[in-house]
Amino acid sequence: MLETLPAHLTRAALGFLLGALLGLVARRGRFCTLGAVEDAVYARDTRRARAWMLAAGLAILGTHLLEAYAGLDLARSIYAGPRLEWGALVVGGTMFGFGMALVGTCGFGALLRLGGGDLRALLVLLVLGLSAYMAVSGLTGLARVALAGPLSVELGAAGAQRLGALLGLDRGGTAALGIAVAAGLGFAALVGPGLRKSRRLLYGAVAIGCLIAAGWWTNGVAGHDEFEARAVGSFSFARPVGDTLLYAMLASGMKVDFGVGSVLGVVLGAFAAARGGGEFHWEAPDDAREVKRHVLGAFLMGTGGVTALGCTIGQGLSGLSTLSVGSLLALASILVGARAGLYYLVDRHA
């Protein structure tokens, strides 16, 4: 049936289905980037960090196999462009990470919380989506463009940001590099009994890594239209949240695509997981102070996510799966921002 649909509807339908699976397994598997940082820093528990590493390794493996054997053209992704906007990646990533700490989760985590009945997450997503579009083409977009232009490096041809291209590897060598990096991450994640004994974390990480690769397959293979001039990608939850809000208001004037489908799917999948696990209940902010913190954090995440070309999922897993040095820089900046935010909230009052 999908063969008869326009390409954008194929991507939207598959995005919804894959997003529902992603929301289901992430909520059941307690998959959370900020939670992994908090556990490692304050509880000396690295199981969730190891789960994140395993998911990243499997995403890298699946994405490089798709490139090698299924015709996926990663040179057409935003993570592999010829210009490395390092200033925007560092500033945007740090903003996103700090905002994530203020909120207590990222945009993806807010979707998971909304599926569980958390009305604070609804507020976060509204502000995040609005601020994301402000950074795309609004007032803060002027600052973003001014920042990205001078603080960038031209690397040459399309795809030049990828580690394989920087090392001068051909397609086969790039695939081998991806497999080697994936194997290293998998070994680092599974060494020792911690993650192997946490079946929920383990299975969730495996599923999420595979779903990131499935997102690439959806956009770059199954939903590819050679007549469309569009970048290929996988899951991301900064600008797509804004796209979803815009589509809710202008459905007759814009095309639904993978991003909107995946956002709606994640909420549905998280709702199914919450209901099935007896975890669904309505929650609201405790006081004005909490509202202020959530609004500020959401604004930083929306602005920073667009500036850094992605979030903890968009750059952290989808971008990293291409072995883009830009994604590595953005992810490192997100983690630095998150640690700074946790220090601001927790350590300075200790």
Q: What is the pLDDT of residues 113-128, one digit of tens each?
A: 999 999 999 999 999 9
Integer-rounded Cα Rg, in Å, for the chain is 19
Task: Give percent above pLDDT 70 in the chain.
Answer: 98
The Cα–Cα gap between 201 and 267 comes to: 20
Q: What is the dihedral of CA 50, 60, 328, 295, to 10 degrees?
A: -70
What was the pLDDT predicted at 157? 67
What was the pLDDT predicted at 158? 59
Q: Which residues contact 218 (CB under 8 A, 6 or more apart)?
A: 10, 11, 14, 15, 18, 234, 258
List residues bridging with 324 in a β-sheet: 162
Q: 79 with 326: CB under 8 angstroms?
A: yes
Q: 62 with 213: CB under 8 angstroms?
A: yes
Local structure of 271: helix, strand or coil = helix
Which tokens is 62 given? 């699946």
What was the pLDDT predicted at 284? 94
Distances (CA, A) of 119 to 113, 299, 306: 8, 17, 24
> Given a cut of 70, is residue 259 above it in pLDDT?
yes
> Given a cut of 70, is residue 349 above it in pLDDT?
no
Enumerate the domain spans of the chain: 2-349
Q: Which residues contact 6 (CB under 8 A, 6 or more apart)?
A: none
Of 61, 60, 18, nearest to 219 by C-alpha is: 18
The Cα–Cα gap between 315 and 309 comes to: 7
Q: What residue ranges in 11-162 does DSSP mark as E strands?
A: 83-84, 153-154
Q: 285 with 118: CB under 8 angstroms?
A: no
Q: 23 with 31: CB under 8 angstroms?
A: no
Which tokens is 43 given? 């509880």
Q: What is the pLDDT of residues 208-217, one digit of tens each?
A: 999 999 999 9
Lowest-confidence region among 35-49, 153-167, 188-202, 321-335: 153-167
- In this structure, the number of other CB atoms found within 10 A of the CB of residue 328 comes to 17
Q: What is the pLDDT of residues 305-348, one digit of tens each?
A: 999 999 999 999 999 999 999 999 999 999 999 999 999 998 87
What was the pLDDT predicted at 252? 80
Q: What is the pLDDT of residues 170-191, one digit of tens each?
A: 999 999 999 999 999 999 999 9
